[in-house]
Structure 1
């Protein structure tokens, strides 16, 4: 089996909370669609051997055209997803030929290369890993009547992001066992945890946001502008 890293980018959702007719992953961020920004991060990494993009059935053709237009040579397949995110991941998983796999949200375009590498290295040591950040706010557990019933210790709480890294064989087993009983998890880590595999947390960046609402898009434009200014300053310093 190929020793490089396989990537499944999940981009099949409609994203109704964005409030746009166009799916959020295909909205423009500065000069290109959000999904292309995401794909480019992984396409540049030497450790990545192949990328599978899972998208909506109606979007496969245009996504394939963008892969060619933006020279994303590590994208080996663009396939249509399933009715749930979990089903889309499973379909992408079946197309991967590497020993290790990362699952990443198509609408997280600001993930850092160094965090991707750290997540991979942790998985090699422990068996599975997820990128995450410590929760900043105090979290309350609330009952059905809106009454606070508990305040968990904030130091033990992390907001889970992607990428999430696993052995292909482990993730395949986790998905198949979940399917056998009709279990649908909120992320892939949850499925792997269910079959007893330890999953380590790797601290990432608070800028690795998932673009879900119009406010997120405004913040994304700010981040992208700041990145451009930083690159400009660096280039001037070399003159």
Structure 2
């Protein structure tokens, strides 16, 4: 971590030691590569919004205390998912102009709104920056429970952990003229997926430092890496598709049918 950074608040060594953790879902984006007027997280699969299916995958996980859902300020009330979907309270927060800003806004809830309250206040968010948070893409409805459980087991303070997928294709390095200059050893490469899990204080500091520096924050782990930390990777099943393009809806539907989540 940078020498100028303020000391981080204490946090449990792991989510299991803490006994509880929070889910943060950035859902303020529009997903323009999908086309259409409806953001991809609100498109329907089997009559259910993608976001609702995504949240339902976390229901019943041990230690889940609540959800921080980051959406656009203009979200229609009828698109707000019910807490019954996941079985814990859902706290809605306004998003920002980028994913990093939306995640920062969600994390700031722990520091600014509920930190320092007495037990029993603030809907249970009382430990502020020492809490553990799992950040997951709203448009990843196919994540498997077993992978979530393994991520919970792997996360350690302060580095955290993330789901990944091994790179299976041969990767080439090329120059500015489009000529191959070498073949990359794919054994050391991973696709970064979500969820990604970190202590709130670590991740909030990482994102805020990255934003001030003008760094490109492509995922939460990339921000944490800038602090000199090394998140642990947990290779996940190939089911963990992110819906990005129109054809991904059909693929997600097929995966969810195979998993027994959809029956249409």
TM-score, L = length of structure 2: 0.80
- The DSSP-based 3-state class of the residue aligned with 2:139 is coil
- Of the candidates 166, 171, 180, which is equivalent to residue 148 of structure 1? 180
- Of the candidates 18, 22, 36, which is equivalent to residue 6 of structure 1? 22
1:160 equivalenced with 2:176 (yes/no):
no
Q: Which structure's residues are more often strand, by fraction?
A: 1
Q: Which is further off, 209-218 or 52-61?
A: 52-61
Residue matched to 2:98: 84
Compute the RMSD of aligned alpha carbons. 2.2
TM-aligned CA distance change 1:44 to 1:60, over 3 Å: farther
Quote the offset at 1:126 in angstroms: 7.1
How do residues 124-203 of structure 1 correspond to structure 2 at under 5 angstroms?
A: 124=156, 127-203=159-235
How do residues 22-101 of structure 1 correspond to structure 2 at under 5 angstroms?
A: 22-59=38-75, 61-64=77-80, 66-67=81-82, 70-96=84-110, 97=125, 99-101=131-133
Gap regions ≥5 residues in structure 2? 1-10, 12-17, 111-124
The answer as to whether partners of 2:256 and 2:262 remain within 8 angstroms in 1 is no
- The DSSP-based 3-state class of the residue aligned with 2:82 is helix
Residue matched to 2:240: 208
How big is each residue's C-alpha offset from its partner over 1:73-131, in whole Å with a ceiling of 9 and x where there is no partner?
42431122100100000111122446211110000011111211211211137731110
TM-aligned CA distance change 1:126 to 1:173, over 3 Å: closer
The answer as to whether partners of 1:8 and 1:51 remain within 8 angstroms in 2 is yes
Quote the offset at 1:14 in angstroms: 0.8
TM-aligned CA distance change 1:112 to 1:36, over 3 Å: same
The answer as to whether partners of 2:52 and 2:85 remain within 8 angstroms in 1 is no
Gap regions ≥5 residues in structure 1? 232-239
TM-score, L = length of structure 1: 0.88
Quote the offset at 1:21 in angstroms: 1.7
- Hey, what's the Cα distance between the residues in 2 that align with 1:10 and 1:105? 6
Quote the offset at 1:72 in angstroms: 3.9
- Hey, what's the Cα distance between the residues in 2 that align with 1:117 and 1:49? 15
- The DSSP-based 3-state class of the residue aligned with 2:193 is strand
